[in-house]
Each structure stands twice: as structure tokens, then as C-alpha cells.
Amino acid sequence: MPGWQRFYEENASKGIEVLTVAMDAQGAAKARPYVELAHGTFQTVVDAENVLGGMYGFRAIPNGYLIDENGVVQYEKLGGFDIRKPETAAIVNRWAEGEDLAAPQDPKAEAKDGPSAEAIALFQKGLELYKADSVDEAMVLWRQGFALDPDNYIIRKQIWAVENPDRFYAGDVDYDWQREQTAKGQ
Amino acid sequence: MTVKASNTVKVGDTAPDFTLPSLDGDPVSLSDYRGKRVALFMWASW
């Protein structure tokens, strides 16, 4: 987030906006600390229901879409879009300078299918239960969604975060633990 | 049988509009930014 704040400060005068979407089913309270830590003045919205996963066709984050003034996508990167990485920073800076990026840079992304609509529907049904404090029942539906679409890391990691808050919200996110879960097929 | 979501956005497509709550709960739409260039970034606390 500090990287995005820096980018925003450097480029807002060029008519560039930064809109970040937190895909947190647990809502704004989980996302806000990251924005506050970065003193973020860019806009952040929360997509608790994973609406954009279905609408844009992704099942993992972090993702970036660079959009022109007419609303047309000039560049997209699904997964690994991290402004702390030199390659991501280079792309967003070239785009900010007005370079035409309107060529598909990521053939892998082009070939990918979208996520399972059924899995997202199960996730959304589960979220209603989660909000009604029926967490166990919610996790049953989220696991059904994950089983239908095992590559859907939005659903998968949200299960981890709800069931293992100490690995996510008690200091730094424990990425070693996440790699262990992935290896175990959890 | 798995139904794939129908919309997979590609370069050259118009970005689908959406309205989502800000951290303070106010509705924000992508279309609010028409006329500006937008870096749209999806992330999460996890």
C-alpha cells in the first residue's frame, strides 16, 4: 500500500486515480489497517461478496487493471501484481507516462478460464451465514465452493483467514504457513 | 459439471462497472472515474 500511495501522489496531477478493492469477506475492518498504515489517500472499496471475481474473471489476487479515460482496459495482470516488484512498478510508471500498453502482455491470463460461477454463488451464500454468526455452516459452503474450484484462492484463503486469525491478524501475515497449507491441499 | 463465469475481462474491453462500499461505507462506482485514467488494484488482508 505505501507503494500505491507514492504512485498516487506522483501521478494524481496527470489525471490518474488509484482505486483499490479489498476482497475481504470479513469487511472493511480487516482492510482498513493496511490503508491507514500507508496513509492512503486513494480510494479503497470492499468487495466482501467476491462480485468482481465473477464479473472480471479472476480467482486469485493481487490483480491490476489499468484503465483509460474512456473506461477501456489497457493492461491487465492476474496474480502477482505487486507495485513493490520492479516489473510491476515499471508497467504502472510506463502507463502513467502515457505509453500505449494496449497489447496483451500476459498470454497465460488470456488462456485462462474464468472462475466457477457456482463456487462464487456458494461463497456468497456462505457469507450470509457468516454475517449471521453461523460460521461453521458458512465454512461448509465455502469448502464446497473451494472443492468445485480448487484454484479459487479468493475462497481458499478467506477460509484460512477466518479459521486461523492468528496467522493473519496477530502481526505480519504468515506466508510460510500459507505455503504449508497449499502444499497440504488445505 | 462446472459453470464458468461468463465475463472474463480482456485488454481492449470496457471495464465492467461496479458499485462497492468504501471503507467508510459510501457507495463508489468505477464509472465515477470516467474521464480519468484508473489504476484498479485488487488485494486483501490475507
The dihedrals phi and psi of A32, each to the nearest 5 degrees, come to -55, -45
Asked whether the predicted pLDDT for residue A122 surpasses 90, the reply is: yes
- For position A106, what pLDDT does the model report? 56
Considering the domain architecture, whether residues A10 and A91 belong to the same structural domain is answered as: yes
CB B9 within 8 A of CB B15: yes
Q: Is residue A35 part of a domain?
A: yes
Q: Does A67 fall in a domain? A: yes
Domain that holds residue A11: 2-96
The chain-wide mean pLDDT, for chain A, equals 93
Domain of A33, CATH number, reads 3.40.30.10
Q: Which three-class secondary structure state does DSSP give residue A72?
A: strand
ipTM (interface predicted TM): 0.91
**pLDDT score at A101:** 79
pLDDT at position A145 over 70 = yes
For residues A115 and A95, give the distance between their C-alpha atoms in angstroms, rounded to a whole number.
Answer: 28
* Residue A32 placed within a domain: yes
Shared domain check, A129 and A87: no
Return d(Cα A115, Cα A80) in angstroms, integer. 17
When divided into structural domains, chain A yields a total of: 2
pLDDT score for A109: 52
Query: Which of A158, A57, A62 is CA-nearest to residue A117?
Result: A57
Determine the number of helices (DSSP H) and then strands (DSSP E) in chain A: 9, 4
Model confidence band, residue A104 (pLDDT cutoffs 50, 70, 90): low
Q: Which three cell numbers stand for residue A20?
A: 483499490
Query: Inter-chain contact A46–B36, Cβ cutoff 8 Å?
Result: no
**Given pLDDT bands bounded at 50, 70 and 90, which one contains residue B1?**
very low
| Chain B CB contacts of A34 below 8 Å | 43, 45
Question: Is pLDDT at A102 greater than 70 in this prediction?
Answer: no
- The answer on pLDDT for A156 being more than 70 is yes
Cell 484463503 found at: A157
| Residue B29 contacts A where some CB pair is shorter than 8 Å | no
When CB atoms are compared, the residue of A16, A76, A102 closest to B9 is A76
Q: Reply yes or no on whether the pLDDT at B7 is more than 80.
A: no
Instruction: Look up the pTM and report it.
Output: 0.91
3-state helix, strand, coil in chain B (%, to 5): 10, 35, 55
- Tell whether A76 and A135 lie within a shared domain: no
The pLDDT, as a whole number, for residue B32 is 97
CB contact under 8 A, A117 and B3: yes
Is residue A17 domain-resident?
yes
Span A10-36, mean pLDDT?
97
Q: Do B39 and A63 touch (CB under 8 A)?
A: no
Do A55 and A123 reside in the same domain of the chain?
no
**Pair (A13, A46) in one structural domain:** yes
Judging contacts by C-beta atoms under 8 Å, the chain A residues touching residue B26 are none
Of A67, A71, A64, the closest CA to residue A87 belongs to A64
Question: Residue A18: left if φ>0, alpha if ψ -120 to 50, beta else—which one?
Answer: beta
**pLDDT of A114 over the 90 cut:** no
Give the pLDDT score at A108: 54
pLDDT tens column, A53-66: 999 999 999 999 99
Residue A104 within any structural domain of the chain: no
